[in-house]
Copies of this chain bind each other. A is one copy, B any other.
């Protein structure tokens, strides 16, 4: 008895599929620096964890399918700082951004519809598109061009009668790029002219180190087109709480999302209790996290500068960097780091780059680095990478 073809054909997560090798390395007593996954080492806000401890409710009940009203209210308020005028009814609380992505694809696209995404992109867009039977049309961006938003012409060229939406990640995972307001305004015009949805994953919006972030929710005239994905996971270092958001002003989209939301009953209650306190009193926490990541970005940039023959750039936002290595098969290298490499009883785990591409060949020599470790560990990890690369090149 074999599983469905779609189950067998689904790609493994490039972020997680090497975990068994990492576990094996740990079992052998090696320390593994995890730069593979966007799991910050910063503490979840203490007051939010305390809010969960203080919960006096005696029945952990089903909540509303769209989320707790109090949470929807504080999130609507929070968006005013991004010049977005939201009503709580525009907001659906989801089980992480993951579920919001799935709902967005299901609500925008029918089977075999097309979705345009700049690549490299967050690997799980591929999986959710597969799940939702949506075809990805990638528009390639390059490290030489700092992964900037592709030209309007290149988007236009990818549009067919089956195109239903453009999906962006801004700030970018895995690239760390940040799209300029002027570029987004141009794209908004295209989206309007071609009657497309514009889905933007903005989960990294609080981490912009050089320029200001522009939410597509603040742009005039495309309210009917915009769907925003958000989450507490990264900004409040609460990945395990599984609380995200789907935000839109389009009533038809909201009506469909409502049905998908009812289908899975409700988002997790405890995570929502945590999230309410995060948004109520989180600004100081956000400021301090931003400064910490800014420092880490500098360290990563400096440390990468000590490695020969790699291509990298200084990402303006998020906490990722795509790096091109002087090797042919980054997947093999990442696995080798876990199985064969050892420096002072340490090694590191990276995410092979090809998992972030539709055209796998384009990412063959790249890796994604998440700079989510404290400064000292980050230095050690990149030093490991440098030595690992030298060792690997000698032997392969």
Contact = CB atoms under 8 A, between A and B. Distances in A.
A354 to B, nearest CB: 16
Interface in A223-263: 224-225, 233, 237-242, 250, 252-253, 255-257, 259-260, 262-263
A299 interface: no
Copies of this protein chain in the complex: 2
Among the interface residues A17, A110, A267, which one has the most CB atoms of the partner chain B within 10 A? A110
Given A4-B108, A4-B109, A96-B265, 18 more contacts: A4-B106, A4-B110, A7-B107, A7-B256, A7-B260, A11-B259, A12-B259, A39-B61, A40-B59, A52-B270, A60-B240, A60-B274, A95-B268, A111-B111, A124-B265, A241-B270, A242-B265, A242-B268
Contacts of A61: 39, 239-240
Interface residues on A, range: 35 or more
Nearest to A113: B4
A394 interface: no
A49 interface: yes
Contacts of A127: 259-260, 262-263
A253 B3 CA distance: 5
Contact of A224 (B1, B11, B59, B260): B1
A62 interface: yes
Given A98-B264, A128-B263, A239 B60 contact: yes
Contacts of A267: 242
Interface of A: 1-8, 10-13, 15-17, 19, 37, 39-44, 46, 49, 52-53, 55, 58-65, 95-96, 98-99, 102, 106-111, 113, 124, 127-128, 131, 133, 164, 195, 197, 224-225, 233, 237-242, 250, 252-253, 255-257, 259-260, 262-271, 274
